[in-house]
Structure 1
Amino acid sequence: MTDHTTPSPFTTSTTARRPGAPQPSPAAVHEAFDPARLTQARMLAAMTKRHLADLLGVTPAAVSQYEMGATTPRTDLLPRLAEALAVPLAFFLAGRPYARLDPSAAHFRSLRSTRAYQRAKAIALTEQAWELTYALEKRIQLPPVDLPGFAGGEVHPGTELSAEPAAAARELRSAWGLGSGPITHLVRRLEAQGIVVFTPQRDDDLRTVDAFSTSRLPRPVIVLTPNRTDDVYRHRFSAAHELGHLILHGEANPGDLDQEREADKFAAEFLTPRASIGPDLPARADLPALARLRETWGVSVHSLLYRCRELGMLSDSAASRAYQRLHALREQPGFAPEPLTGYPGEQPALLRQAFTLAGDTGLTITQLARELAWTVPQVRRVLGHDDQRPVLRLLTQA
């Protein structure tokens, strides 16, 4: 599967940039305190109410009252609150655009293996990805949302695809003009259709959080976490799986196992259409042949074996033996995972490229941080900008 960097799909808007405001006083924050921002900051810090209460010298009930808006933290507590949660004091001010996302509205792939605080942090990061998108969209014209069935879609408003997963996958391929062959640069193609694809940086708090998606924000969002495995083939299937959720389950309540199966069926047909992949599949469990197909179609050998079984080309017993042989070859060339770094077209670029274009109009990360009331490092993290400064390492001799 070849890959290269795709061109930018953005154009510059004439919207003027507003300069960032200076930090407010604790008294000003007290007067315009936003309880929802406290909850968001606590989720971003993966901190319980009890832990935060201990840091502030108050009770957990007091923190609950703050977050419900029943009471407001005292003026003298506000700087300590900002320090404890590692946010600027202005973060707690009301008035900034905020699309709050209920964790129950996101399609998580691994509910059983993740704890509530981990999902809450992932959701808070997703909210921030939308806030950053909104701030950039005031300056840059992003690709219009072209997602049939999405309420906020700008290209196919009100149009819905088939409820049957495989049929919906074929219809979407047709609507997007993808033909019937392999799909290259899948993630960049999703972004070109107006979908925000966000990959948080590696984080111990998110190590068990797998991919998830939501259509409850003004733009559809797919989150592809990097913590489970560094494998471009699994990454692509996860992206197609979440696209299936957006297409099939936009208004449905997440968490249904049948929905996960439907999203898998959508992903398999979207990446490897039956009519196209069928003639290419070997008549027996020929693993070297499947490894070559892996390179062509951009899906794992494991997925191709499942496809063979699904299409009736392998019996259950033959597939089981093939899976065992595949497991023994998992570190061999042609079967081992391939790092995502080798495939720029499978890595999100929408936010980074939008910021680069906005930078041509004079926007800096510092100004963006002030506008969002974030720290500069947090803006860099959500943008996906690595810190380019060299690391000073001091060696000590025992």
Structure 2
Amino acid sequence: MTERPPLHLFGVGQDTSNAAAPIAAAFDPQAFDPGRLTQARRLSGMTKAALAAQIGVSGAAVSQWEARTSPPRADHLSCLADALDVPVEFFAVGRPFAQLDGSSAHFRSLRSTRASQRAKAVAFVEQAWELTYALEKHVQFPAVDLPGFLPEDIEDHQPATPAAAARALRARWGLGAGPVPHLVRTMEMHGIVTTMVPFAGTDTPTIDAFSTSRMPRPLVVLTPDRGSDVYWHRFTAAHELGHLILHRDAAPGDPEQEREADAFAAEFLTPADQIREDLPVRVDFKALEQISHEWGVSLKSLIYRSRELGTISDASARRAYQRLNNLYELGIIAADPVTNYPGEVPSLLNKAFELAETNGTLTMAGLAREMRWRLPRLRLLLGHPDQRPVLRLV
């Protein structure tokens, strides 16, 4: 196997997993990592009070455990593991742990996302990075190629507008003229870790897509509900790519940032100087549908782009939106799922695992032990759906 180059963790704790021993019944308080308890609790969506009630202790006790004021007893640790659906060893120190501040992630639906849901999403990103780090010890990932992301790649001149930034990135990535055929695969090929799994169960659609560039690798989280329409999904991915380019050091939540990310996505997917000549001068749904398939963008996006570029009037755009909504309601226009387009389904983490497994350096069970996760959790993050039939007792 090719010797792995060192991974610079930018201040993240170093890997000492070989030295860390599983937590035993005679629990050493120094072996307990309070950050792991916080992460597992947030992933479960539990408050400290709810967790305390489930294991029969006071809320103050859980607060003390997470604040490192005092560690839990061995019997409490076992109860925590059961309540949070993790192995007892999950709470051990010694593994790389990149903690992410929730204010460092750009949520597409920030205002409608509850604080507990954002905490769950942030904890998921932490685990996605841990999995990436573990896999990079076995497989060489694509280098990160994102303007301004690496310290040695900070550009002196930032593009003046989101559209200019989109054009600059298309040129940097050598995309040439015309549509971007495999957007998610293109992002992954340039070192951006992308996932699309139901990481928060039924809460996932409410959380919606988000991204962060505050980890050692940029990470974009897409949600399966958006995957029901490949065009919606592609625009969402390009929107999050815009955040990574435009708002690395900006505090998220500003509506103007969302508008800028939309402007970036529109120009990245449909450059104005290329799409303008294709757009009809009046609303023609047959022509727009052909353009939609060619460029990989939705009809709604094309109507907006036509109004934005002045090929149709505001009044024509309003009538077009109404007609489009009717066509969707009648089922004349149906969504095309992303599963029909492999180049739009994230595969970087799963492909990395498969390559390591093929080379004989890693197994699913071995990786789960290294991560101190249960196998279902590992399969979820790798994008392996549980295809077992559901047993229902009537």
Matches for 1:201-216 after TM superposition, within 5 Å: 201=198, 203-216=201-214
Gaps of 5+ in 2: 6-16
Question: How has the CA–CA distance of structure 1 residues 165 and 134 changed in structure 2, closer, same or farther, with 3 Å as cutoff?
Answer: same
What is the alpha-carbon distance in structure 2 between the residues aligned to residue 152 and residue 136 of structure 1?
A: 23
* Aligned residue number for residue 87 of structure 2: 88
Matches for 1:1-398 after TM superposition, within 5 Å: 13-14=2-3, 23-28=22-27, 30-151=29-150, 156=153, 158=155, 161-201=158-198, 203-228=201-226, 230-330=228-328, 335-362=333-360, 363-388=362-387, 390-391=388-389, 393=391
Instruction: Render the CA deviation track for 1:41-93: whole Å, top value 9, x for unaligned.
Output: 00111111111000121111221111111121122211111111000111111
What is the alpha-carbon distance in structure 2 between the residues aligned to residue 395 and residue 31 of structure 1?
A: 45
Gaps of 5+ in 1: 1-11
What is the alpha-carbon distance in structure 2 between the residues aligned to residue 308 and residue 39 of structure 1?
A: 48
What is the alpha-carbon distance in structure 1 between the residues aligned to residue 390 and residue 317 of structure 2?
A: 52
More displaced stretch, 303-312 vs 355-364? 355-364
Contact 1:148 1:161 in 2 (8 A): no
Partner amino acid for 1:205?
D
* Aligned residue number for residue 8 of structure 1: none
Partner amino acid for 1:13?
T
Distance apart, 1:395 and its partner CA = 6.9
Contact 2:226 2:233 in 1 (8 A): no
Distance apart, 1:313 and its partner CA = 1.6
What's the TM-score, normalizing by structure 1?
A: 0.91
Give me the identity figure in percent.
Answer: 57
Instruction: Render the CA deviation track for 1:176-234: whole Å, top value 9, x for unaligned.
Output: 00012100110000000000001122611223011110000000001101135611101
Contact 1:119 1:209 in 2 (8 A): yes
Distance apart, 1:385 and its partner CA = 1.0
Distance apart, 1:30 and its partner CA = 3.0
**Greater relative contact order (Cα < 8 A, sep 6+):** 1
What's the TM-score, normalizing by structure 2?
A: 0.92
What is the alpha-carbon distance in structure 1 between the residues aligned to residue 160 and residue 181 of structure 2?
A: 26
SS at match of 2:207: coil
SS at match of 1:110: coil
More displaced stretch, 28-37 vs 79-88? 28-37
Partner amino acid for 1:227?
D
What is the alpha-carbon distance in structure 1 between the residues aligned to residue 329 and residue 229 of structure 2?
A: 12
Instruction: Render the CA deviation track for 1:332-371: whole Å, top value 9, x for unaligned.
Output: 6773211111011000010000001110232111100110
Question: How has the CA–CA distance of structure 1 residues 331 and 291 changed in structure 2, closer, same or farther, with 3 Å as cutoff?
Answer: farther
Partner amino acid for 1:167?
A
Instruction: Render the CA deviation track for 1:95-141: whole Å, top value 9, x for unaligned.
Output: 20011111110000101211111111111111111100000001100
Instruction: Render the CA deviation track for 1:2-55: whole Å, top value 9, x for unaligned.
Output: xxxxxxxxxx63459x98987430434533111111100001111111110001
Question: How has the CA–CA distance of structure 1 residues 227 and 282 changed in structure 2, closer, same or farther, with 3 Å as cutoff?
Answer: same
Distance apart, 1:152 and its partner CA = 5.4
Contact 1:330 1:336 in 2 (8 A): yes
Contact 1:208 1:227 in 2 (8 A): no
Contact 2:227 2:339 in 1 (8 A): no
Partner amino acid for 1:105?
S
What is the alpha-carbon distance in structure 2 between the residues aligned to residue 336 and residue 160 of structure 1?
A: 43
Contact 1:240 1:266 in 2 (8 A): yes
Contact 2:209 2:221 in 1 (8 A): yes
What is the alpha-carbon distance in structure 1 between the residues aligned to residue 229 and residue 19 of structure 2?
A: 40
